[in-house]
Amino acid sequence: FLNPGGSSKDRIGIAMIEAAERLGLLQPGGTIIEPTSGNTGIGLAQAAVVKGYKVIFTMNAKVCQEKRNILNAYGAEIVVCPCGVAPEDPRSYYKVAERLVEETPNAFSPNQYANPNNPLAHYLTTGPEIWRDTAGQITHFIAGMGTGGTITGVARYLKEQNPDIRIIGVDAQGSLYRHFYDGTEGKAQGYKIEGIGQDFLPDTIDLSLVDEVITVSDKEAYAMAREAARKEAWMVGSSAGAVIAGALKAAKGLGEDAVVVLLLPDSGKNYLSTVFNDEWMEANELI
């Protein structure tokens, strides 16, 4: 959450754009179109501004106003789509993005849900940083699962160094990752946590690298994000709150010699109108 754009998605934004340039998929003056919960959009928008590309982002209506404002500040066009519709529904922010790519000349979609440069960015950067900064002593890595790029890239690198490192994925209650992991049937339900959870299985996640999945509710995630700010001075978002809540659940069975690394993906400054707004929290029955 201390990256320039306020999230870990800065890393995949530039990685996906530069890979597309090398492959000739993104031409000078082109338009980048992507479905996003905001953070990948911010990472892409930063790189696009510097490189001279236009950007259009589709997102569902639950994305907070702060993220929309940041994207507007970078000159992005935003298309807001309804929540609670299936991914294959033509109104979903996935399908709207696909349609816009078809209709827009010289357009390119990085498609963070299938782009191998998403996990690769974390394999090449985040994973090695964690290994180096813990002097190879890390025993557990805990992260949220959205596109799955972060947890997959980091896990692949860490397990290459030490196969005994345990990888714990944190999922939103209402998401289908728990069912995908367990191999059970389930139906996606609504949840308010932004940036983690999924109602389909992206190509960018490798669940075989995950040793455990912990599910966290909206109330747990939002309460923990607020507590992190007030007790630790960590200004982080709801997905980070979910990761902290999940880590506390996992910690109950760990010994004193465990070296646990959490990835807190984005800044709470993007959620002043939601996570840190008592009126919004009360209206959404989160406090």
- 174-217 pLDDT, tens digit each: 999 999 999 999 999 999 999 999 999 999 999 999 999 999 99
Domains in the chain: boundaries: 9-108, 120-283
pTM confidence score: 0.94
The catalytic residue among 9, 67, 95, 192 is 9
219 sits in the region (left: phi over 0; alpha: psi -120 to 50; else beta) called alpha
Structure tokens at 135: 């002097």
Fold of 9-108: Rossmann fold (3.40.50)
CB within 8 Å of 266: residues ≥ 6 apart? 1, 6, 7, 8, 9, 39, 195, 236, 237, 239, 240
Specify the CATH class of 120-283 in words. alpha beta
Quick check: do 9-108 and 120-283 share a fold?
yes
Q: Tell me, what's the pLDDT at 4?
A: 87
Span 102-136, pLDDT tens digits: 999 999 999 999 999 999 999 999 999 999 999 99
Span 22-71, pLDDT tens digits: 999 999 999 999 999 889 999 999 999 999 999 999 999 988 899 999 99
Average pLDDT over residues 134-156: 99
How many CA atoms within 13 Å lie on the side-chain side of 164? Answer: 6
For residue 24, the one-letter residue type is G
CA–CA gap between residue 222 and residue 53 (Å, rounded): 35
9 is catalytic: yes
Tell me the three state secondary structure of residue 222. Answer: helix
CA–CA gap between residue 14 and residue 44 (Å, rounded): 6
Q: Which of 215, 43, 223 is nearest to 122 (CA)?
A: 43
Q: How far apart are the first and last CA of the chain?
A: 25
Q: Tell me, what's the pLDDT at 37?
A: 82
